[in-house]
Structures are given as structure tokens and as C-alpha cells.
Amino acid sequence: MDNTKHIKHISKLMSLALRHRPEVIGISLDKQGWASVDELIKGINEKGLTLDRELLQQVVAGNDKQRFSFSEDQTMIRANQGHSIDIDLQLSPAEPPAILYHGTAIDHLPAIREHGLQRQSRQHVHLSDKPETAREVGMRHGKVVILKIDAGKLHAQGHLFYLSANKVWLTDAVPVEFITLPDIAGTSS
């Protein structure tokens, strides 16, 4: 396997273990989502993917979305966002830009129109400050549509927003009145 593919496999396994299912590599997370670097390296090697500290540094530093962070003393590692397991990243509330974007599949629109944006299996709704990023996120789900979120107004009404270490905006839910939804013909309403 070439190095790029090897790194991608490791990164995917790390996302799974550090966000959703730590047991797949026999590790556990603390309340803030941190796992021991030594245990993570051991667990990934036991899955047949060769990993040492040096390569782990490369996986973290070279990750396209900066998905992972080391603790200050480099002994612990965690995912910066995207968790489905109940951990507390201990992020401080932050003031979002006036407009944020959410990319989703056109098929989700009827439910979003009815319920607003909900966090589904994750701990937060994920929002982007750039429509291009939202497009990439939404494309994973099907025919993509980009929703404009009135984050400034939502924040002004007391909804909390958080900015993850890798610059993803997180919030608990977005009620439908703060979303610009396209109609079926694709024009905005």
C-alpha cells in the first residue's frame, strides 16, 4: 500500500474510534474525548495497520480537515468534532458570523422544513463559514443543496454557538425560521 493510502486508512479508523466506537481498537475516551496516544497506537497496530509516533504526527499534521488534536504534553489525542458519543469538548461559546452554511441532501429537505436542522446521531449540528465547505459536506449525502443559516439572529436570540479547534461551527439545533430553504424548483424562499 502506498503511504497516502495507508495514512488515509489510519485516519478513517481514528475518526471511527475517536468519535463513535473506541472499542473497535480497544481504547477508551475520557469525559473530554481524550484517548491515550500509546493505547491508540497499540490498538491500530493490532488492527494490522502499522503506526508509530512519527507516522501519527504525520497523520494529524497532514489531515485535510485537521480532524485530530494532541494534548499539550502529546500523551493524549482526540477528535476535534463530529462525535456521536457523549463527551464534552469544553468549548467556550463564541459569536458566529452573521451567516453560516449547511450542506445537505435535497432528499432531507421535507424533514428539515418540518423540524429544522437537528443533530441526528452527532452531538451538534455542523455549520460552515464557507458555502464551498458546506457543499463538500452535503455531497456525502446525495444531491447537494446548500442552506443559508441566519446565525447572527439565532445567536442574538440566545442560542449558543461553538467553534471547534478545526473551525467547524457547532450548535444544538437550527429552527426552520432561521434557514433559507430552496423551493422544489431550486429558487430560494
| Cβ at position 35, least distance to ligand HQG in Å | 17
Cell numbers standing for residue 108: 432531507
Exactly one of 67, 78, 83, 155 binds ligand HQG (CB under 6 A); that residue is 67
| Cβ at position 25, least distance to ligand HQG in Å | 17
| Cβ at position 64, least distance to ligand HQG in Å | 9
Cell numbers standing for residue 68: 485530530
Cell numbers standing for residue 164: 471547534
Which CB, 106 or 160, lies closer to ligand HQG? Answer: 106
Which CB, 54 or 188, lies closer to ligand HQG? Answer: 188
Which CB, 61 or 111, lies closer to ligand HQG? Answer: 111
| DSSP assignment string, 59-91 | HHHT-TT--EEE-TTSSEEEESS---S-----P
- Evaluated on CA atoms 177, 146, 128, 112, the torsion sign reads positive
Q: Please report, for residues 106, 135, 177, 182, 188, the alpha-carbon distance to residue 185 in angstroms, rounded to integers and kept in the order given.
A: 11, 19, 20, 8, 9
Per the document, the length of the chain is 189
* Residue 120 touches ligand HQG, criterion: CB under 6 A: yes
* Residue 117 touches ligand HQG, criterion: CB under 6 A: yes
Nearest to 161 by CA among 128, 137, 122: 128
Cα distance between residue 125 and residue 82, in whole Å? 9
| Cβ at position 17, least distance to ligand HQG in Å | 13
Which CB, 139 or 156, lies closer to ligand HQG? Answer: 139
Binding window for ligand HQG (CB under 6 A); candidates: 33-41, 47-55, 101-109, 181-189: 101-109
Q: How many CB atoms neighbour CB 183 within 10 A? A: 10
Please give the residues from 2 up to 61 whose contact with ligand HQG meets the rule CB under 6 A. Answer: 15
Exactly one of 126, 155, 169, 171 binds ligand HQG (CB under 6 A); that residue is 126
Cα distance between residue 163 and residue 114, in whole Å? 27
Residues that bind ligand HQG (CB under 6 A): 15, 65, 67, 82, 104-105, 108, 111-112, 115, 117-118, 120-122, 126, 137, 141, 168
